[in-house]
Structure 1
Amino acid sequence: MTVLDWLIVAAYFGILAAIVWWSSRRIKTSADYFLAGREVGFFVVGASIFASNIGSEHIVGLAGSGAANGLAQAHWELHAWVLVLLAWVFVPFYYRSGVFTMPEFLERRFDARARWILSIVSLVAYVFTKVSVTVYAGALVFRTLLADVFGSPDEAFWVGAIVTVLATGVYTILGGLRAVVYTEVLQTGLLILGSVLITVFGLSALGGWEEVREVARLQGERWALWRSNADPVFPWLGVMISSVVTGIWYWCTDQYIVQRTLAARSLQDARRGALWGGFLKVWPVFIFLVPGMIGYALHLKGVIRIPEDA
């Protein structure tokens, strides 16, 4: 890390702090805190949906999956079409009900028991499937890139985990949903720009797209998008069924995603935001998975080294 690198990091956190300060000054009601005052435009809604889904675990995990499995993991990214279902079927019911959360919607639709069941299941699921994985992946980035800064890889790992939790908690608690959605717009731009640059630099170091295609040809079934039903990890029938079922649950009913649409200034903005988020969701195939494939090709050429246990 050079002085310029640290200045860029400091500028990023400075912008986050400014957004939190600006957001905290506009909180006057519960709607301001939980729904950003219902004044968010479609562009921010869509970018927030994308960034709330994409985290450090995707950047690390999808790149690793691209190196190990090629395009197999792309099915879950290409099912961004489910966001069309969110926009045209689910959002009108949620938005017009005026609720703040999905558990609240279930309580109005059924009873308080349904609200408590969904709340408990969601909290447990977030801890084990989202929060823990995100924190772990962020800590891995610290351990890999900043081991020398913090003395050792293990110390860098724990610093990364603690910083990830504290930074996220502080701006969420102080700024409410408004701070969250606007910081996610910033993160969306950085995620896409940074990943595109990695892809471009990787292709340049490799010698062009034809080199990736040649490696993919040699990998054959191991890197294929569609696998036979005999494949132990990605059988095509299992992938098609599971990706649709989990996709509808996650994109259309999960509080973590749906709350962004509830913050829109109008039903039209909520729908457009969901569609914009779906468009952005397709890009991880090209800017997260493909760089992993490029990395594996560079490994075969001896340009970089990927540990065998990675």
Structure 2
Amino acid sequence: MIYALAAYIVLQFAIALWASRYVRTEADYFVGGRRFGLLMVGVSVFATWFGAETVMGASGAIADEGLAGGRADPFGYTICLIGMALFLAYKLRDAGVMTFPDYMQQRFGPRAEVLAAILTIPTSIIWASAQLLAMGQILAETAGIALGIALFGGAVLIIAYTTIGGLLGDALTDMVQGAVMMIGLFILLLTLLASGDFAFSEITPDQLQWRITDEDGETESWLAALDTWMIPILGSLVAQEAISRFLGAKSASIARKGCFLAAGLYLVFGSIPLAIGLLGHAAGFEAASTDSYLPELARQYLSPVLYVLLMGAIISAILSTVDTTLLAVSAIASRNLIDRVGKNLPEPRKLMFGRSLTLIAGLAAWAIAASGETIKGLVEIASSFGSAGIVVALLIGLHTRYGGERAALAALITGALMSFLGYGVPAWAVSLFSEAAAEGMPGWTQGFEGSFIFSILSAIAAYIAVAELDRRGILAKSQKESPAAS
């Protein structure tokens, strides 16, 4: 197993080194020189989206919670990809940008660009950390080493080949990764069905409920269920990880069609971990943890050769997501933060900054992965935190001329604030106002139900309110009367 993984990683590096020959400019590094055809866009977006939470986290969650555990994977993220095709891909690619904050600058101005970049970078790093954690768990189980060592080794490998090859190298490796992943999951499902221990007829009606019922028999509210749907559908709509892939398309039309292709692939192959979770629960299979559900099931039922193939598939899913996420962070940090300070830098200097920022992003993701969170928990934070205002401002900005920079800033700030409050208030923040109130508090207080939906609605309200004030000249008038306040 170790030798097989080593051979697989060597192949990844070979592809990255070959692709590095074509990386000469910032555009080559971040959007692959805009060389991608339909198949490469579709498979690349699919492979990027099909991460550790789909292969490992989803099957365990579905085994525990039934269909309710699959609201994000595969259904929510499939709808999200369709939304990208319908509302983002054509217009963003047609605008010729490299990141979505680039468009925020074109449409709303530099302050909206910088704020969108600042809100996006932390969530992308958290997303990458979830994938690193999954890879660390696989390496630790396979090689029999400590998780901390496996995490660090996995991070070094991913950072190295991502820094070398850029998006072109990532997209080319995605073609290999996507093929291995599809074959591995399909073989596992067929093997389980052929074993005789698993049958669709054994799935019980309670596994097919769309709302979670806890051990006390309490069913979650419709508001909480709707919020769970909206986090992957809207919260991930503005993920630079996927956006960068269709921005590398040869044309706007290919960008849109590629997202539709990715959505179809995601639904089909994302349904395999869903089926495995339902079948495993019906058969009474139990794993040590949610995140290790699919690997443990595979180890028990697959031959050593097929098990190696499946682990290669999971590693594929992780690698294709992490490398793109690190590039997304470095692209936004380089273009939308550093370039604002040092304008008109020569291309070699821009390329150097991009690669350096990829390294820094990878180290930050490794540090978060080592903190002890679960894969699913990290992904939920990454999908919802701070994205509400970005979704609102970007969609309105792309499809209308309504509202300007102040409206966008209002939406971004309001959405971020509501997301923060939705997770609860940290004890250290309470202690700033009252030491007594902070005593005995957990690390975070309990947030409120439906927080992401309220974040979206609040951001919409803030955008419209400020846009109307702008349209009527009220804000402009008040700024003239009080320059200091503005």
In structure 2, relative to structure 1, the CA distance for the partners of 1:56 and 1:109 (3 Å cut) is same
User: Which among 55, 61, 67 is matched to residue 51 of structure 2?
Assistant: 55
Alpha carbons 1:74, 1:285 under 8 Å: kept: no
User: Which among 280, 301, 321 is matched to residue 295 of structure 1?
Assistant: 280
Alpha carbons 2:213, 2:219 under 8 Å: kept: no
- Report whether the alignment pairs 1:166 with 2:156: yes
In structure 2, relative to structure 1, the CA distance for the partners of 1:126 and 1:206 (3 Å cut) is farther
Q: TM-score, normalised by structure 2?
A: 0.54
Instruction: State the SS of the aligned residue for 1:58.
Output: helix
In structure 2, relative to structure 1, the CA distance for the partners of 1:71 and 1:266 (3 Å cut) is same
Q: Deviations over 1:44-80 (max 9, x none)?
A: 1111112212222332211211221122232222231
User: Which among 219, 239, 252 is matched to residue 225 of structure 2?
Assistant: 239
User: Which among 251, 259, 262 is matched to residue 266 of structure 1?
Assistant: 251
Amino acid across the alignment from 2:103: F
Distance 2:140 2:212 in 1: 37
User: Which segments of 5 or more consecutive residues in structure 1 lack a partner in the other structure?
Assistant: none
Deviation at 1:243, TM superposition (A): 2.1
In structure 2, relative to structure 1, the CA distance for the partners of 1:260 and 1:65 (3 Å cut) is same
Deviation at 1:161, TM superposition (A): 1.1
- Report whether the alignment pairs 1:90 with 2:88: yes
Instruction: State the SS of the aligned residue for 1:74.
Output: helix
In structure 2, relative to structure 1, the CA distance for the partners of 1:245 and 1:11 (3 Å cut) is closer
The match for 2:287 is 306
Distance 1:232 1:94 in 2: 44
The match for 2:176 is 186
The match for 1:131 is 128
Deviation at 1:167, TM superposition (A): 1.9
Alpha carbons 1:42, 1:269 under 8 Å: kept: yes
Alpha carbons 2:80, 2:236 under 8 Å: kept: no
The match for 1:248 is 234
In structure 2, relative to structure 1, the CA distance for the partners of 1:294 and 1:180 (3 Å cut) is same
Deviation at 1:235, TM superposition (A): 4.6
The match for 2:201 is 213
Alpha carbons 2:85, 2:257 under 8 Å: kept: yes
Distance 1:26 1:70 in 2: 47
User: Which segments of 5 or more consecutive residues in structure 2 lack a partner in the other structure?
Assistant: 293-486
Alpha carbons 1:206, 1:294 under 8 Å: kept: no
Which is bigger in relative contact order (C-alpha 8 A, separation at least 6)? 1
Q: CA RMSD in A?
A: 2.5
- Report whether the alignment pairs 1:68 with 2:58: no
Distance 1:35 1:22 in 2: 17
Alpha carbons 1:229, 1:237 under 8 Å: kept: no
Q: TM-score, normalised by structure 1?
A: 0.83
Distance 1:237 1:283 in 2: 28
The match for 1:38 is 34
The match for 2:364 is none
- Report whether the alignment pairs 1:257 with 2:242: yes
Deviation at 1:40, TM superposition (A): 0.6
Distance 2:183 2:221 in 1: 33
User: Which among 140, 145, 152 is matched to residue 143 of structure 1?
Assistant: 140
The match for 2:297 is none
Q: Deviations over 1:140-166 (max 9, x none)?
A: 22233332xx3xxxx2x1232123212
Alpha carbons 1:229, 1:236 under 8 Å: kept: no
